[in-house]
Structures are given as C-alpha cells and as structure tokens.
Chain A
Amino acid sequence: MSKQSVAVRKFDAVIVGAGGSGLRAAIQLSEAGLKTAVLSKVFPTRSHTVAAQGGVSASLGNSEEDHWHWHMYDTVKGSDWLGDQDAIEYMCRKAPEVVVELEHFGMPFDRTDEGKIYQRPFGGHMSNFGEKPVRRACAAADRTGHAMLHALYQRNVRANTQFFVEWMALDLIRDQSGEVLGVIALEMETGEVVAFHSKATVFATGGAGRIYYSSTNAFINTGDGLGMAARAGIALEDMEFWQFHPTGVAGAGVLITEGVRGEGGILRNSTNERFMERYAPNAKDLASRDVVSRAMVTEINEGRGCGPNKDFVLLDITHLDPATIMKRLPGIREISIQFAGIDPIKAPIPVVPTCHYQMGGVPTNYKGQVVGDDGAPVRGFYAAGEVACASVHGANRLGTNSLLDLLVFGKASGDTVIDDVRSGEIGLRDLPADFADRTLARLNRLNTQTGGASVNECRLELQRTMQKHCGVFRFKDMLVEGVAKIIEVEKAVAHTEIKDKSQVWNTARVEALELDNLVEVAKATMVSAEARKESRGAHVRDDAPDTPANPNGRDDANWHKHTLWHREGNRLSYKPVIMKPLSVETIALKTRSY
C-alpha cells in the first residue's frame, strides 16, 4: 500500500468513540454547527456504557440535603488524595447541571412521588464531609447506561452528527510541532484506510480492562485510545491504578453484583470457613471492595483457594430461600448457571477479584484538553471518559462517578474545542508528507509476516501475565519479574501473524491491531506499578504495609505524585498532584478510612 492510496476526509472535529463521553462531546460540537465525525468500532448504542447499571451521581438534593462540596470531599477521599482538586471541584459543581440536561435530552430517570429525579444511596456517598450516607445516585432502573446512551444518541441524530460505524481508528496524526491533525482509520466493511483530517481530535475510546485475564469489561475494551496516544509520543498517566471488583465469576469474569452479599451471600474458602470474619469482624462480607478483594487473594495465596488449581473462593447463597434468590436477585441464577456451570441454589459460585475500571489514562486538564508533561495543552487534542485521566478518580474511583465523568468532561471537551476553533487557536493545518507511513508500515508488516506468533496466544499470555504479576494485591518480586515478562510478550506481539490477508471484513487483522494497543497498556501498567513503592487506593503492595508512619502503606512524602509512562524507552517521570481547587480551600491530606 502506498501513501497515495490513503484518502483524506476533512472535518472540523473528529471524535473517536461513541460511548457516553463521545456522544456527549458530539452534541456540543454538532449543535454549535461544527462539521463533526464520530468513529466507532460498533454501532453507538452498543458501546460499553450500556453495561453501567448503578447510576450517575449529582448532589441534586432531591431526597435530602446535599452539596457539591460534600461530593467533592468524597471524591478526593475516594481518590486517596491522588485526584486533581481543580478537576474534582469542576466535576462535582457541574454534576447537577449535566444530569438535569440529560433529563431534558429525554433520559427516563426514576422519579419520586413529586416527579423529581429519584436518588439512592451508594458506597462512599456521604453528607457533611464524610459524616453519614446521603442519597446521591440517579438511575433509570438497572439500565442507566443504556438509557443514557440512547438519549444522547437521539440528540446527536437530531443535530446531524455524522457517524462512521464499524470503523477502527488506528493512529493519531501529529506534525513536527506536535500538533494533532486527526486520525487514520480502517473501515472494516471495505478494508479501506482513510485519514480523518480535522482541526480537533477528541478521544473517547473507553477503557482497557481486557489487559487482565479476569475482567468484567466487554471484549471491545482494548485500550485503543491509549495505544494510539502512546505511539504518538503522549505519556500515559497513573496507569498502575485499576479498580477490581471482588466478585467476578472465576474464568468468565462476569460481574456478580454486590447485592448478592447484601442479601446474605457469604464468601468461603476451601475449608468452608467464612473467612471475612477474620479480616473485617464487623462488616464481614460487606466490607469495602478493596478489603474484600485483598482478603480473597490472601486466602488463595495462602493455599486456601478452591478447585483443582486452588485459584478461586466461593460465594455461597445456598442457605438463602430459593424464593428470595429468584425475587431479590433476578438474573444471578442464570448468570451462574451459564458462566460457572453452577446452580447457586444448590452449590456456591466460584468467584475471584476481577478487573473492572481504569483510573489512569491520557492526561487531560479539566477543560478536556490533553496535556503534555509540562501541563501545557497538546494543540488539537482532547479526551474524555474512561480513556482520559483528568484526574478525578486518582487512585480509586467512587461508584457512579464514571458516568458523571462522561457527561461533564464530554461536554467540557466539546466546549473547549468550540472555543479553540473560534479563537483560531486550532485550524486545519497541512498534513505532513509522511503522515500515514507508520500506520501503513504496521499494516504491511501484518500482511507479509510469516512464521510469527498467534494473536490469540499472545493475548492470553499478556492477560495471564498481568493477572499473575500485577493483580489486586502486588508483590515486589512478582512485579520485577512481570516487567521482564511483559517485554517478552511485546516482542512476540511485534511479530504476530494472521492467516487471513483479505481486505473486506478481516476480523483477524482488526484483532491483531487491537492487540498492538493492549500491549502498550499492559507495559504502562506493569512498569508504573513496579516503580510505585507505596500502597495507595487500588495499588496495594505487600512491601508497603500499614504502619503508624505510613497508614495504609501510603507514603505521601515520596509518592504523592502522578506517574507518567513514556513509551519511548519504557521510561517514567512524575508530576505533582494539583491540590488547589478552583474556588474553595484545599482538602488537605488525611488518612483514608471509612
């Protein structure tokens, strides 16, 4: 393939990703009259945002008194003080506005008797700076993400957003000065490679949870935005921080809701012991996610796991009345029959802590601009949603803050693009002559590779390595070994071979290209985790335990800073956490305890 064969299409803005964040950004741009293209690997309403059930947070105060400042406090604390306080203030203050706006877009929120948006309690949501639980989560039954995506999609149809469905973006286009000029993308139906040349490029590609063997994330979450950014020389921020959910079905990863333990489900080890009594005598099986996850891993590591490989524990609801299970936990029985081969009425469900959410990502400021190492915006480049690190989630995300992040920063990035276009800050700059070379070389390599590695085997090796060496509970030696292993995986990935060389609907090629992205995310995660010699939020190391000097193993003197991973040289640098909010006082460092 030669350069000449790459067609160029011109837009004011190109958005990669049609989940909640991409669609929210697109509304701003299209309604402002900008010619906007949205690319997606799947039809927009099949994006992973659909899977979110729990809700979206906003201090509407519809059921009881609430305040954005309290929400801000909870978010800073949840982040274990690694979140940037300007971005957190911005998000929490904007929350009521964007949620009400969503309602006006047609989102069918559950309602109170007076017709207001109904709000329910959720872990970590407190009033009066951590005093007592408050009802802050807004939901549309158990289909919040689905309803949100539909409302946003309809609004985009009305605004004439142009969708490119079943297109995969492959690489960013940057010029000599570092300005971003668009993306190169592959149309699956034709195999055609096209440049989307634009004034603004917005990444909204979602998460990368498929780097782990056990993940609640759908297969689509291969971290394409992170891979593209890293290959284009953008450092990735705080990639060591991944949230794990304690109860994914062993093997399949499918999430078993916390509600199961809420209804009386008990975790047991191979001796049938209710082990949570030892780790959390009061809360027991209902202790917070990280406490339960770590207890489970400790049981497994100490040889009390179940099954032939002693690699899972059991979630037991056999003592509950079957009628209660059917009524209160609909779907759970089907899930465990289909994904664990177990009828939970008769036998306990095998579960393991499972990768759920990526806190790190492409570094941005609270306006949705991607920022370089010095904090200055990268011209023409914006990001929002799970791919971005604003950083509002810091070392640990609070439930329901992710859907909020999509709305707030999707909108903010759109608004910033509009300002930057109107002020002339960004424009349609000339494409450099070699803009497609690296992408075409990558495609050519795949087309001509012989005697290379299988994509499936490489992916499995990558996932197993991450799971074993960089899971929920981390050990020094395992991390050091993990870095070496993931570099071996990378070498194999550089030589993947696909048998199918055709153009049209070549899914083998697409999967190989996804793997190119997964491996960047895996390296960033492993290298960043090995280097951070403290425990903070979701990053918990065996050699950084709870001591009086460093409660919970957190070491602010040395590690209260953001990690930046640079692909070139597999190198790390660090930048300070922004402790100064926009208008209120700093929420000072404190031990995180609930």
Chain B
Amino acid sequence: MDDREKLNRLRWRCTRRAMLEMDLLLGEFLERLYPTLDAAQADAFVTMADMEDLELWPLVNGQREPDDPVQAEVLALLRNVRVK
C-alpha cells in the first residue's frame, strides 16, 4: 500500500466508528495533529485507531492510562482536541 492508500484507510477507520464522539475526535486529530507526529507516534496512533471505541474512550477521557509511553504522548495530544 502506498502512503495515500494508508492514509485513506486510516481516515476511514477514524471517521466510521461506533460512537459519534470518536468520529469527531479522531477525525479532527487526523486532519490537524496527525501530520505533525513522528514515525513512532504515528504508528501508535494507527494502533489506537484500530482499538474499539469502548477500549479507547476511557483512555481519552482520562479514566485509564496507557501502558505504552508513546501511546501516552499521542493521548496527551488527543485529550486536548476540541471539536466545535
């Protein structure tokens, strides 16, 4: 898969989710912050986008902390996303 294909697949998985909250947050993150991530962070984000919403939601709203330090970096950014 080339970069465009990978990015489009990621876009689909960020914006066709089970919960509207997640569509909005991950969609916004993908457009604004994903391009600024380094390679390790980008991988961590892809892994997180593949999680199910009820796994990811407690991480996003701070009820849980991730084990992986790179995921924690990405999460710090994700938690600050504001959708209006």
Binding site for B on A (CB under 8 A): 41-42, 45-51, 143, 146, 166, 188-189, 215-220, 251-255, 330-331, 334-335, 337-341, 502, 504-507, 510
Contacts and interface: CB of A to CB of B under 8 A. Distances in A.
B1 interface: yes
B18 interface: yes
The 4 closest A-B CB pairs, nearest first, are: A50-B18, A334-B61, A505-B8, A505-B5
B33 interface: no
A510 B9 CA distance: 12
B23 A219 contact: yes
B11 A254 contact: no
Nearest to A350: B84
Contacts of A506: 8
Interface of B: 1, 4-6, 8-9, 11-13, 15-25, 27, 52-54, 60-63, 81-84
A363 to B, nearest CB: 27
The main secondary structure of chain B at its interface with chain A is helix
14 contacts: A41-B16, A47-B18, A48-B18, A50-B53, A218-B16, A218-B18, A334-B60, A334-B61, A338-B25, A341-B82, A505-B9, A507-B8, A507-B11, A510-B12
Contact of A339 (B9, B12, B24, B27): B24
Nearest to B22: A218
Contacts, number: 97
Given A341-B82, A502-B4, A504-B1, A253 B20 contact: yes
Contacts of B63: 330
Given A146-B18, A505-B8, 17 more contacts: A49-B18, A51-B19, A188-B9, A216-B20, A218-B18, A218-B20, A219-B17, A252-B84, A255-B20, A334-B61, A338-B21, A338-B25, A338-B83, A341-B84, A504-B1, A507-B8, A507-B11
Contacts of B54: 50, 143, 146
Contacts of A251: 84
A51 B18 CA distance: 6
Contact of B62 (A189, A218, A334, A341): A334
Contacts of B5: 502, 504-505
A219 B15 contact: yes
A177 B25 CA distance: 47
A239 to B, nearest CB: 22
Contacts of A252: 20, 24, 83-84
Contacts of B83: 252, 338-339
A163 to B, nearest CB: 16
B19 A220 contact: no
Nearest to A51: B19
A341 B83 CA distance: 8
Which of B4, B13, B16, B83: most chain A Cβ within 10 A?
A: B16
A189 B8 CA distance: 10
B82 A338 contact: yes
Contact of B21 (A215, A254, A504, A510): A254
B20 A51 contact: yes
A230 B12 CA distance: 26
Contact of A505 (B12, B22, B23, B81): B12
Contact of A46 (B11, B17, B61, B62): B17
A70 B37 CA distance: 57
Contacts of B12: 166, 188, 505, 507, 510
